[in-house]
Structure 1
Amino acid sequence: MTYLLFCIGLVALFLGGEYLVRGASNIARHFNLSPMVIGLTIVGFGTSAPELLVSIQAAMAGQPAIAIGNVLGSNVANILLILGTSAAIAALMIPLRKVWRDLGVMVVATAALWIMLLDGSISRLDGVILLAGLAVFMGMAFFLGKEEPDLDAEPPSSMPISIAQTIGGLIVLVIGARLLVDSATEIARTFGVSEAVIGLTVVAVGTSLPELATSVIAAFRKQTEIAVGNVIGSNIFNIFSILGITALILPIPADPRFASADMPWVAGTALLLVLFAVLLKGIPRLAGVALLAIYAGYVALIMA
Structure 2
Amino acid sequence: MTYLLFGIGLLCLFFGGEYLVRGASAVARHFRLSPMVIGLTIVGFGTSAPEMLVSVQAALEGRPGIAIGNVVGSNIANILLILGVSALIAPLLIPARKLWRDLGFMLAATAILWVMLLDGDISRLEGILLLAGLATFLGVAFLTGKQDSDEVTVGDIPQWKAWAMTAAGLVVLVVGARLLVDSATELARGFGISEAVIGLTIVAVGTSLPELATSVIAAIRKQTEIAVGNIVGSNVFNIFGILGTTAVIAPIPAEARFALIDMPWAAATAVGLTLLAFLLGGLPRIAGALLLGAYGGYLWLMG
Corresponding residue for residue 221 of structure 1: 221
1:78 paired to 2:78:
yes
Secondary structure class of the residue paired with 1:283: coil
CA deviations on 1:235-261 (whole Å, 9 max, x unpaired) are 100100111111111112212111111
CA 1:3–1:66: 2 relative to 1, 3 Å: farther
Please, what TM-score do these two structures have when normalized by structure 2?
0.92
Rounded to whole Å, the distance in 1 between the matches of 2:125 and 2:138 is 20
Corresponding residue for residue 206 of structure 1: 206
1:148 paired to 2:149:
yes
Rounded to whole Å, the distance in 2 between the matches of 1:128 and 1:155 is 37
**Gapped runs of 5+ residues in structure 2?**
none
Corresponding residue for residue 43 of structure 2: 43
Corresponding residue for residue 111 of structure 1: 111
Equivalent residue runs for 1:22-33 within 5 Å: 22-33=22-33
1:251 paired to 2:260:
no
Deviation at 1:280, TM superposition (A): 1.0
1:290 paired to 2:274:
no
- The answer to whether the Cα contact below 8 Å between 2:34 and 2:151 also exists between their aligned partners in 1 is no
Rounded to whole Å, the distance in 2 between the matches of 1:155 and 1:37 is 16
CA 1:25–1:65: 2 relative to 1, 3 Å: same
**Gapped runs of 5+ residues in structure 1?**
none
The one-letter amino acid of 1:230's match is: N
Deviation at 1:273, TM superposition (A): 1.2
Corresponding residue for residue 96 of structure 1: 96
Rounded to whole Å, the distance in 2 between the matches of 1:187 and 1:60 is 29
1:132 paired to 2:132:
yes
CA deviations on 1:34-83 (whole Å, 9 max, x unpaired) are 01111111110011111101111222222222211111111111111011
- The answer to whether the Cα contact below 8 Å between 2:29 and 2:154 also exists between their aligned partners in 1 is no
Corresponding residue pairs, total: 300
- The answer to whether the Cα contact below 8 Å between 2:103 and 2:232 also exists between their aligned partners in 1 is yes
My pick for the range that moved more, 182-191 or 73-82, is: 182-191
Rounded to whole Å, the distance in 1 between the matches of 2:64 and 2:149 is 45
RMSD, aligned CA: 2.0
The one-letter amino acid of 1:84's match is: G
Rounded to whole Å, the distance in 1 between the matches of 2:31 and 2:121 is 40
Deviation at 1:294, TM superposition (A): 1.2
Rounded to whole Å, the distance in 2 between the matches of 1:285 and 1:233 is 22
CA 1:87–1:64: 2 relative to 1, 3 Å: same
My pick for the range that moved more, 84-93 or 203-212, is: 203-212
